């Protein structure tokens, strides 16, 4: 039962709006101060936490019992900003979208990276575009594989020139990798063997390439961190390991911030539904001074 004289309009609808976007329910009820306060505080806390955790602290993962994201049960109350995590989970994405080296269809995108020789020395910096396509021959052997073409410019200490070449996975070495299509990092890494096909005026450049393609917001926002798999090996086997290694204590800080934002919105939702817990007149009896004309009513 509401103890307030505030006009709550349709409380259930207001509570629903307050869940979707913190402060929106109060905006609907024309409680502008609270709408601003809730939206600034809760959304500010949520996105600050997301920023602290480099976008890797809000995701939904429930299949593997050891790595369930119980924190998401708190974060989800932040509403729309947290709901894409559900869409990014395996529920709405294909299983292969989270597999490294898997390419279902040819795609292209801007590329930025370094070209290295066999000993690992940097030859120069390549920027341009890359086209990646599935390697049907290798994939037929149950080994996800890909190859691609890079076109762009090679910048070396000697100067800058146009370059074109083939890039491919080139072996089972853990460093030869095309990152999964969906992951919480903004860049999809491409590490592979490079063979120049353009005529550079000298011996064609061969070596390895280490670079990346920018991920779209849809492919990275609240994408789940993947668990290690039995076939994985190497230091980057688990996304969770990589996130902890890169972020350190900031990972937990980000989780705590986003969890608190979600929990605070529960208070805001309840306030939109029921109104404030106390009438203003009930509070501060001791500190409030009585009005000057207060006194016993004369008959």
Residues β-bridged to residue 282: none
Which residues, numbered 47-66, are part of the site for other proteins (CB under 8 A)?
48, 52
Residue 114 makes CB contacts below 8 A (sequence gap 6+) with 122, 123, 124, 125, 126, 209, 210, 211
Among 7, 172, 284, 293, interactor with other proteins by CB under 8 A: 284
- The span from the CA of 216 to the CA of 195, in Å, is 28
SS (H, E, C) 77-135: HHCCCCCHHHHHCCCCCCHHHHCCCCCCCCEEEEEEEEEECCCCCEEEEEEEEEEEEEC
Helix, coil or strand: residue 176: coil
Quick one: 141 or 287, whose CB is closer to other proteins? Answer: 287
Residue 40 makes CB contacts below 8 A (sequence gap 6+) with 23
**Number of amino acids touching other proteins (CB under 8 A):** 30
Binding mask 5-24 for other proteins (x = CB under 8 A): -x------------------
- The span from the CA of 203 to the CA of 157, in Å, is 17
First to last CA, the chain: 36
Which residues, numbered 93-112, are part of the site for other proteins (CB under 8 A)?
none
Which residues, numbered 21-50, are part of the site for other proteins (CB under 8 A)?
31, 33-34, 37-38, 41-42, 44-45, 48
Q: Report in angstroms how near the CB of residue 65 gets to other proteins at its nearest.
A: 31
**Binding region for other proteins (CB under 8 A) out of 111-119, 120-128, 147-155, 278-286:** 278-286
- The span from the CA of 102 to the CA of 99, in Å, is 6
Quick one: 56 or 101, whose CB is closer to other proteins? Answer: 56
**Binding region for other proteins (CB under 8 A) out of 152-160, 176-184, 187-195, 275-283:** 275-283
**Binding region for other proteins (CB under 8 A) out of 116-124, 168-176, 208-216, 279-287:** 279-287
Quick one: 284 or 297, whose CB is closer to other proteins? Answer: 284
Q: Are 165 and 135 in contact (CB under 8 A)?
A: no
Quick one: 31 or 61, whose CB is closer to other proteins? Answer: 31
Q: Report in angstroms how near the CB of residue 180 gets to other proteins at its nearest.
A: 31
- The span from the CA of 208 to the CA of 57, in Å, is 33
Binding mask 226-255 for other proteins (x = CB under 8 A): -----------------------x---x--
Tokens 């991920």 map to which residue? 215
CA atoms within 13 A of residue 89's CA, in its CB half-sphere: 16
Q: Report in angstroms how near the CB of residue 283 gets to other proteins at its nearest.
A: 6
- The span from the CA of 148 to the CA of 150, in Å, is 7
Quick one: 183 or 259, whose CB is closer to other proteins? Answer: 259
Quick one: 230 or 249, whose CB is closer to other proteins? Answer: 249
Nearest CA-CA partner of 81 in 16, 15, 14, 21? 21
Q: Does residue 278 interact with other proteins by CB under 8 A?
A: yes
Residues contributing to the site for other proteins (CB under 8 A): 4, 6, 31, 33-34, 37-38, 41-42, 44-45, 48, 52, 249, 253, 257, 260, 264, 267-268, 270-271, 275-280, 283-284
């Amino acid at each position: 039962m509401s103890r307030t004289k505030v006009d709550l309009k349709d409380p259930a609808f207001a509570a629903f709006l307050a869940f979707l976007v913190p402060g929106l329910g109060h905006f609907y009820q024309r409680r502008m101060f609270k709408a601003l306060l809730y939206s600034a505080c809760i959304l500010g806390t949520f996105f600050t936490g997301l920023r602290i955790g480099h976008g890797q602290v809000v995701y939904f993962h429930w299949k593997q019992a050891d790595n369930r994201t119980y924190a998401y049960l708190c974060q989800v109350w932040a509403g729309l900003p947290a709901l894409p995590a559900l869409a990014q989970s395996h529920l709405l994405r294909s299983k292969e979208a989270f597999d490294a080296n898997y390419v279902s269809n040819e795609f292209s995108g801007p590329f930025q990276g370094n070209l290295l020789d066999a000993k690992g020395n940097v030859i120069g910096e390549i920027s341009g575009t890359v086209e990646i396509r599935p390697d049907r021959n290798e994939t037929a052997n149950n080994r996800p594989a890909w190859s691609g073409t890079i076109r762009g410019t090679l910048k070396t200490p000697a100067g800058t020139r146009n370059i074109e070449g083939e890039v491919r996975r080139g072996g089972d070495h853990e460093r030869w990798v095309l990152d999964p299509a969906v992951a919480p990092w903004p860049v999809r890494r491409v590490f592979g063997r490079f063979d120049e096909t353009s005529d550079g005026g000298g011996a064609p450049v061969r070596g390895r390439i280490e670079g990346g393609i920018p991920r779209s917001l849809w492919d990275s926002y609240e994408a789940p961190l993947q668990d290690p798999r039995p076939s994985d090996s190497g230091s980057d086997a688990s996304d969770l390991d990589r996130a902890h290694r890169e972020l350190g204590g900031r990972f937990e800080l980000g989780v705590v911030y986003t969890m608190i934002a979600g929990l605070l919105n529960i208070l805001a939702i309840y306030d939109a539904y029921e109104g404030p817990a106390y009438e203003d007149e009930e509070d501060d009896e001791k500190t409030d001074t009585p009005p000057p004309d207060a006194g016993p009513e004369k008959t």
